[in-house]
Amino acid sequence: MTMIQPRAHSRKKIAGLYLVTDRALCGNRGLEEVVSLAVQGGAACVQLREKDLPTRPFVEEAKRLKALLSPLRVPLIINDRLDVALAAEADGVHIGQEDMPCDIARRLLGPNAVIGLSVETWEDVEAAELMDVDYLGVSPVFATPTKTDTKAPWGLEGLTRIRAYSSHPLVAIGGISRDNAADVILAGADCAAVVSAICAASDPRMAAADIQAEISWALKKK
């Protein structure tokens, strides 16, 4: 009897330095320029995060970033909006606990989409264990002025506890800079997500390269 093997999915892997965009912090340099510089510096994944942009310009921005990142094989993830991810043929979505449920997101986006889920409480971590997601966004690891409507920060101890329990790759986010990027990797994260330390940097390429160097050093030590 011929056994039919389930077809392996071909989702892009999320690892290393993960840039999350903030248009306001990019200032007059423009989002695409900052994203391009960050990728030159070593960002291996980009999440387009727009909280106030109407749908049409959001889709247009996502398409421009997709055209920029696709040839570089850097995955583009869209925050919250499955419709924008589909419209721009992005690689996936990052969703929070109040957003589209993960099982429905998977059904709508298909087996090859990257789906990231924010976890803010231990209950979120436990529930995620049964979900078909590609990574957990451990949010926030440290308190940050970039996002203040968060639950209590996990700290490095929380990150280590999640690493010991969860089977999912972990993306640490919140208050990460060159000064603590190695710490979050050594505490259990696979990936460090950064907003202000790159988007607000006077030299985003250098900022990304400095953080990436810390991540690489820590990954080799693990």
* Residue list for the binding site for Mg(2+): 80, 99
Is residue 147 involved in binding ligand TZP (CB under 6 A)? yes
d(CA 222, CA 217): 9
Beta bridge partners of 135: 116
Query: Which of 16, 75, 140, 188 lies at the binding interface for ligand TZP (CB under 6 A)?
Result: 140
139 is catalytic: no
Q: Residue 140 binds what, of Mg ion, ligand TZP, none (CB under 5 to 8 Å, by partner type)?
A: ligand TZP
What is the full DSSP assignment across 110-144?
Answer: -TTSEEEEEE-SHHHHHHHTTS--SEEEE--SS-B
Give me the catalytic one of 118, 139, 166, 177.
118
Q: Count of CB atoms within 10 A of residue 221's CB? A: 9
Sequence-separated (6 or more) residues with CB below 8 Å from residue 141? 153, 154, 155, 156, 158, 159, 172, 173, 174, 175, 176, 184, 189
Which is catalytic among the residues 12, 49, 81, 178?
49
Shortest Å distance, C-beta 198 to Mg ion: 20
Q: Is 118 a catalytic residue?
A: yes
Task: Give the CB-side neighbour count of residue 129, counting CA atoms within 13 A.
Answer: 11
C-beta closer to Mg ion: residue 120 or 214:
120
80's contact among ligand TZP, Mg ion, none, with CB below 5 to 8 A by partner kind, is Mg ion
Dihedral over alpha carbons 33, 39, 40, 41 (to 10 degrees): 110
Q: Quick one: 1 or 149, whose CB is closer to ligand TZP?
A: 149
Q: Residues in contact with ligand TZP, total (CB under 6 A)? A: 15
List binders of ligand TZP among 2-31 (CB under 6 A).
20
Q: 51: how many CB neighbours lie within 10 A of its CB?
A: 10
Eight-state DSSP code of residue 190: S
Task: Identify whether 222 is a catalytic site residue.
Answer: no
Binding of ligand TZP at residue 173 (CB under 6 A)?
A: yes
Q: Does residue number 94 form part of the binding site for ligand TZP (CB under 6 A)?
A: no
Q: Which is nearer to ligand TZP, 73 or 117 (CB)?
A: 117
Report the residue number, 39 or 102, with the smaller CB distance to Mg ion.
102
For 84, the token pair is 């924008």
Could you list the residues that contact Mg ion (CB under 5 A)? 80, 96, 99
